[in-house]
Amino acid sequence: MTTTIPVRLEERSYDVLVGPGVRNSLPEVVRRLGAQRAVVVSARPPAWVPDTGVETLLLPARDGEHDKRLSTVEELCGEFARFGLTRSDVVVSCGGGTTTDVVGLAAALYHRGVAVVHLPTSLLAQVDASVGGKTAVNLPAGKNLVGAYWQPSAVLCDTDYLTTLPRRELLNGLGEIARCHFIGAPGLRGLPLPEQIAASVTLKAGIVAQDERDTGPRHLLNYGHTLGHALEIATDFALRHGEAVAIGTVFAGRLAGALGRIDQSGVDEHRAVVRHYGLPAALPADVDADVLVRQMRRDKKAIAGLAFVLAGPRGAELVRDVPAEVVTDVLARMPRDRLENLVGATEAAAT
Ligand SMILES: NC(=O)c1ccc[n+]([C@@H]2O[C@H](COP(=O)([O-])OP(=O)(O)OC[C@H]3O[C@@H](n4cnc5c(N)ncnc54)[C@H](O)[C@@H]3O)[C@@H](O)[C@H]2O)c1
Ligand SMILES: [Zn+2]
């Protein structure tokens, strides 16, 4: 079954298709765009790349943060030019979120913008990275520091791609699905994965339609992310993003409870949802709380002081100037576990 989710952004509107086999819609998408040529940049085997229906250059790529950099954008644009790609043609990305990000940025810059279609192959890329038009690459000074808003012309989330995904990459995406429970999609537990993906994309599409450039409601998508980002850095990325966000989600629940925004059952629901997905809910044993607080002060939502997206009587919202003592106290009360137990959380959840 295919679900079609519209992302409504006036002349930049497009559809996200979710379901088994949706990659085979690519020739129809390319035909509708009127492209004569396509460049497909793929981190997956050539057999995974569907026919485009037009003259095509297939460029192999590698997923991963290492290649998500400006020199890759330059190399890709050079290949586009040598192939003779024009601004009325199309670029297609096929890979994880690192690939959709770097190819998206190349498409945004080539000829000041050429159409791009994403074929995300990781769960995280399907539920998050490929939808919403943010593209970026890393600099040595930090992640995602150079980028552009460039909406794709279509996103094809083929759930058949996910069958080869390693367990931890699945968990990585489930972390983003779990946080949807607290920002407007509370009924996803127990649904088949394609339905969870479609619901998460629908939620994101609605938020992006209200706030394409991240000046307001798009903050909601950062539920669990303030501590999540700090944990990724503090563990030197030993935790995958979705695992760190899961721990951050449990923390956000406890912090909202400590601030009197939700009651104990609301706090407990955070742990229950995260554990339902087999995700970790405790802090790594040897991470220093002061290091986490220092890192959280650098969060892009924090203009001054500490800022979090927190549940409350009006639903989730951005809360600025949260007192450091409360944050420190809630961190001190969080359960702790050894990192190797946390990343094996799936097995523990089954028992
Ligand atoms: N633009 C946005 O709005 C946005 C949102 C969220 C995340 N991101 C970005 O997305 C990136 C993370 O994405 P990711 O987690 O997909 O990382 P990734 O691209 O590194 O992929 C994760 C791993 O999964 C493997 N993989 C992907 N698809 C596979 C498949 N079908 N079968 C087997 N293995 C597969 C990859 O080779 C890689 O090892 C980060 O760089 C992040 O900044 C962007
Ligand atoms: Zn995230």
Task: Give yes or no for residue 152 CB within 6 A of ligand 1.
Answer: no
What is the number of the ligand 1 atom nearest to the C-alpha of 143? 43
**Architecture of the domain spanning 3-163:** 3-Layer(aba) Sandwich (3.40)
Q: How many angstroms separate the Cα of 4 from the Cα of each of 25, 103, 104?
A: 12, 23, 21
> What average pLDDT is seen over the chain?
96
Task: Give yes or no for residue 169 CB within 6 A of ligand 1.
Answer: yes
Per-domain residue ranges of the chain? 3-163, 168-183+223-350
Distance (Å) from CA 182 to ligand 1 centroid = 23
What is the number of the ligand 1 atom nearest to the C-alpha of 99? 19
Task: Give yes or no for residue 126 CB within 6 A of ligand 1.
Answer: no
Query: What does the alpha-carbon distance between residue 246 and residue 227 come to, in Å, rounded to a whole number?
Result: 10
Which of 124, 171, 119, 201 has the alpha carbon at shortest distance from 349? 171
pLDDT at 303: 75
Task: Give yes or no for residue 144 CB within 6 A of ligand 1.
Answer: yes
Distance (Å) from CA 310 to ligand 1 centroid = 26
Q: What's the DSSP call for residue 164?
A: G
Q: 168-183+223-350 in CATH: which number?
A: 1.20.1090.10
Task: Give yes or no for residue 243 CB within 6 A of ligand 1.
Answer: no
Point out the residues of the chain with pLDDT beneath 50. Answer: 348-351
Distance (Å) from CA 51 to ligand 2 centroid = 31
Task: Give yes or no for residue 68 CB within 6 A of ligand 1.
Answer: yes
CA dihedral of 163, 13, 222, 343, whole degrees rounded to 10: 10
What is the per-residue pLDDT across 307-325, written as a single tens digit (0 to 9) for each? 999 999 999 999 999 999 9
Task: Give yes or no for residue 177 CB within 6 A of ligand 1.
Answer: no
Distance (Å) from CA 325 to ligand 1 centroid = 36
